Amino acid sequence: MKPVELAKNVYWVGAIDWLTRDFHGYSTKRGTTYNAYLIVDEKITLIDTVKAPYRSELMHHIRAIIDPKKIDYLVVNHVEMDHSGSLPEVVKEIEPEKVICSKMGHKALLKHFHQEDWPYHIVTPGEELSLGEKTLNFLETRMLHWPDSMFTYIKEDQIVFSSDAFGQHLGTSERFDDEVNQDVLMYESTKYYANILTLYSPIVKKLIAQIEEMQLPIKMIAPDHGVIWRKNPGKIIDAYSRWCVNEGKGNALIIYDTMWESTRKMAKAIAEGLQEKGVSYKLLDLQVNHRSDVMTDVLDASAVILGCSTLNNGLLPRMAGFLMYMRGLRPTNILGAAFGSFGWSGEAVKLMNKSMQEMKFTMIHKGLRVQYVPEDVHLRECVELGHTVAEALEDLKAGKEVVSVE
């Protein structure tokens, strides 16, 4: 891969990671990229670096354009190791005049690399920095998704370097949105938002309002992962505007795990009830669906129905792990219900209910438990649970309030 020119004298010089399949618990089936950008001006500037093992790829790309020692400024939009792992070596090699970061970025850099003597230049939100022909502007984006995160903007080219925001874990030879399959691009963008940004939705909402208020002209959005939004940056901003308000599509997800098929039988009967009422649904067995793919569906779901057998007075481990993961991401505006089979103690339904209550789901059922193997009468109850969920969804659609059961 060669460096790619985004605009006159602005280059992508990052690295493509075709290997990674797990990003601390998020499955990255299509790999990812670590994007870094080089601006050649009177003051030559590198925006972000790459994960440590990819440093030589970054330097190779820079060398194809200039001698790295000529770099004056190094901008650190975000300190997480996938963008800063190579930083100590890069700083040593290029000896920049300034290491530019936010106030929180400075603190995070010190805590990561313990280098008091780097030539830090802490920027304040809205600060401008002239590079010669081009001017950089810095926008603090705390908690999107780390305290240190910031955006860098080239005023003359109207390019936003958005760090992790608006990215995708998508490792491809293509560098721009108009060069890749749109369905894949939007799926990976959705998955990225669902698994990294859902819990920061209120901050995303404020940021989008702020960008609109600033009337910031945006020709291109260049994130730190995946492709650059050159043809249609508005498409991903519109998508973020929708995702950050967690508006469901009126659909339901039945997310479950089973020991001896009983809970699966219950899941299918609930699905039948939803089907009878014309509700779009998905059956997501945690044995075959990765938690991060399931969370992608949760992002625009209106109802989540959880099913699990009881094991050793608790939950099956896959459901316990999924609940822990989902709770961290804090999805909102969701109707909830739980079901499951048990042998003698039957705590699973109670535990799932508790977890959904803690996530502030609107609970529309007290929970359905069946001992050992369901008979027709039990499966009928499951169908009815499907109907109950469908009716609550209908009420939501009609703008009626749906109240949690006690």
Return the active site residues: 24, 78, 80, 82, 145, 164, 192, 225
Q: Least distance (Å) from ligand FEO to the CB of residue 26?
A: 11
Q: Which of 80, 127, 174, 300 binds ligand FEO (CB under 6 A)?
A: 80
**Does 164 contact ligand FEO by CB under 6 A?**
yes
Side-chain-side CA neighbours of residue 342 (13 Å)? 21
Count residues near ligand FEO (CB under 6 A): 9
Amino acid letter for position 151:
F
Q: How many CB atoms lie within 10 A of CB 373?
A: 11
Quick one: 16 or 252, whose CB is closer to ligand FEO? 16
Cis peptide before 145 (omega within 30 of 0): yes
Quick one: 166 or 361, whose CB is closer to ligand FEO? 166
Quick one: 73 or 192, whose CB is closer to ligand FEO? 192
Q: Least distance (Å) from ligand FEO to the CB of residue 266?
A: 39
Nearest to 197 by CA among 295, 320, 319, 286: 295
| DSSP string of 173-241, one letter each residue | S--BGGGS-HHHHHHHHHHHIIIIIGGGHHHHHHHHHHHHHHT---SEEE-SSS-BB-S-HHHHHHHHH
Q: Least distance (Å) from ligand FEO to the CB of residue 196?
A: 7
Give the residue closest to ligand FEO by C-beta: 80
Quick one: 32 or 263, whose CB is closer to ligand FEO? 32
Q: Which of 55, 78, 191, 291 binds ligand FEO (CB under 6 A)?
A: 78
Give the distance between the most distant pair of CA atoms in the chain.
78
Q: How far apart are CA 37 and CA 185, in angstroms?
A: 21
Q: Least distance (Å) from ligand FEO to the CB of residue 246?
A: 21
Quick one: 120 or 146, whose CB is closer to ligand FEO? 146
Could you tell me which residues come within 8 angstroms of residue 188 by beta carbon, excluding any fewer than 6 positions away? 30, 168, 169, 170, 226
Candidate segments 76-84, 134-142, 252-260, 308-316, binder of ligand FEO by CB under 6 A = 76-84
Judged by phi (left if over 0) then psi (alpha if -120 to 50, else beta), residue 340 lies in: left
What's the length of the chain?
Answer: 406
Candidate segments 74-82, 254-262, 298-306, 385-393, binder of ligand FEO by CB under 6 A = 74-82
Candidate segments 77-85, 172-180, 249-257, 321-329, binder of ligand FEO by CB under 6 A = 77-85
**Does 142 contact ligand FEO by CB under 6 A?**
no
Q: Which of 48, 82, 157, 347 binds ligand FEO (CB under 6 A)?
A: 82
> What is the 8-class DSSP label of residue 328?
H
Quick one: 58 or 269, whose CB is closer to ligand FEO? 58
Could you tell me which residues come within 8 angstroms of residue 151 by beta carbon, excluding any fewer than 6 positions away? 77, 138, 139, 141, 160, 161, 162, 163, 165
Q: Least distance (Å) from ligand FEO to the CB of residue 51?
A: 9
Candidate segments 66-74, 78-86, 108-116, 392-400, binder of ligand FEO by CB under 6 A = 78-86
Residue 391: phi and psi, rounded to 5, are -65, -40
Quick one: 225 or 265, whose CB is closer to ligand FEO? 225
Q: Quote helix, strand, coil % in the chain, to nearest 5.
A: 40, 20, 40
Residue 17 in 3-state DSSP?
A: strand
**Using an 8 Å Cβ cutoff, are 1 and 25 in contact?**
no
Per-residue x/- marks for ligand FEO, 187-226, CB under 6 A?
-------------------------------------xx-
Residues 266-285 that bind ligand FEO (CB under 6 A): none
Which spans of this chain sit near ligand FEO (rule: CB under 6 A)? 78, 80, 82-83, 145-146, 164, 224-225
